[in-house]
Homo-oligomer: A and B are copies of this chain.
């Protein structure tokens, strides 16, 4: 099967690029002397997970997931050490306990005293991380929050460690900036660890990480593991914040031309907001790619600066670079590099896998939803 035989729109995963991205991160993490706990929220695929876990360059401490559906899926495929890295609610503990009763070791995350008590009181098996906010201002308590010891004490022997996520690294733009944010991420984690140690509370796992900070940290002393995810695929946003380069985007959307208006330098694709997502990550980046960059069917930049400038539900309107040939015909195919690979991938239920060329070498399913 060739790319030309696929129904459009669909998601294409270039395994050769994926392998390079996996290798680069594993080497970076391995050099830092910490374990890799890859975040599978982007890939949501057992086949991708197996490639990441097979890398010889970094020790693996487990995996990270963003939904309990992912936890169930990966546990069912034999990956048992799982960190569900989104703040837990008491109502979700039964589902975690059920997975763990069936052989998984799903650990959870909280920053709340009341929830910590609910975790401690739950009859099922589970361990929990205290979430620290190292500057992202999303989940977690600041490392100097007065309730830290109370949450740890409430968790008791269920305390697995502390975790933090420098999501605000996405506002960094250069490798030195990323290294500085990684240092701040590590410092926030270690501040919490020192407070717990002073209170006689054990904290075996110290978990940090986003793709840019994992890749560019200068040192991670005191940290035990890092949790990057988006680096596996990369995207037009990550390419501008030093996670991947522009030619290392592993996932693209294959689309057909369904409209052409050469005099206006415009074509219309059958990939709109549904197939590309409405994510506009690059809006705040140095270079705004609107809803995606149009590549040729082999993923090459043959169409210059041709962008999907409008994304309706099933229509993607492309402003063609006037410098490139405008002789598209209806049914011609292109690939669109995404702004934000997590959101674009989630619009699809499978990957059509290629190995640099146009031969489809595999079809890999994804686990979407909750």
A interface vs B, CB < 8 Å? Answer: 7-10, 41, 66-68, 86-92, 95, 110-112, 114-115, 137-140, 167, 256-260, 266, 268, 270, 273-275, 277-280, 310, 312-315, 317, 329-331, 340, 342-343, 346-349, 369-370
Docked complex Cα distance between A340 and B330 (Å): 29
Q: B330 touching A87 by the CB < 8 A rule?
A: yes
Q: B138 touching A317 by the CB < 8 A rule?
A: yes
> Whole-angstrom distance from the CB of A69 to the nearest CB of chain B?
9
> Whole-angstrom distance from the CB of A313 to the nearest CB of chain B?
6
Docked complex Cα distance between A275 and B137 (Å): 20
> Whole-angstrom distance from the CB of A272 to the nearest CB of chain B?
9
Asked if A279 meets B273 with Cβ closer than 8 Å, knowing A91-B256, A330-B89, A330-B90, the reply is yes
Q: A313 touching B342 by the CB < 8 A rule?
A: yes
Q: A67 touching B314 by the CB < 8 A rule?
A: yes
Q: A114 touching B278 by the CB < 8 A rule?
A: no
Q: A139 touching B315 by the CB < 8 A rule?
A: yes
Docked complex Cα distance between A268 and B279 (Å): 20
- Given pairs A112-B259, A137-B266, A274-B346, 10 additional interface contacts (CB within 8 A): A86-B258, A87-B270, A91-B331, A114-B329, A138-B259, A138-B317, A139-B259, A167-B312, A273-B343, A280-B280
Question: Whose C-beta in chain B lies nearest to the C-beta of A84?
Answer: B314
Q: Which residues of B contact A331 (CB under 8 A)?
A: 89-91, 115
Partner of A114, one of B111, B268, B312, B330: B330
Question: Whose C-beta in chain B lies nearest to the C-beta of A269?
Answer: B87
Please give me the 7 A-B residue pairs with the lowest Cβ-Cβ distance, nearest first.
A87-B258, A89-B331, A278-B279, A278-B278, A66-B314, A86-B314, A89-B256
- The contact sample of 26 A-B pairs, CB cut-off 8 A, is A7-B68, A7-B92, A7-B370, A8-B89, A41-B313, A86-B270, A86-B315, A87-B268, A87-B270, A88-B258, A89-B257, A91-B256, A110-B330, A137-B317, A138-B317, A139-B315, A140-B259, A167-B312, A273-B279, A274-B346, A275-B370, A278-B278, A278-B279, A280-B280, A346-B347, A348-B369
Docked complex Cα distance between A301 and B112 (Å): 27
Question: Whose C-beta in chain B lies nearest to the C-beta of A270?
Answer: B86
Q: Which residues of B contact A330 (CB under 8 A)?
A: 87, 89-90, 110, 112, 114-115
> Whole-angstrom distance from the CB of A189 to the nearest CB of chain B?
18
Docked complex Cα distance between A278 and B311 (Å): 12
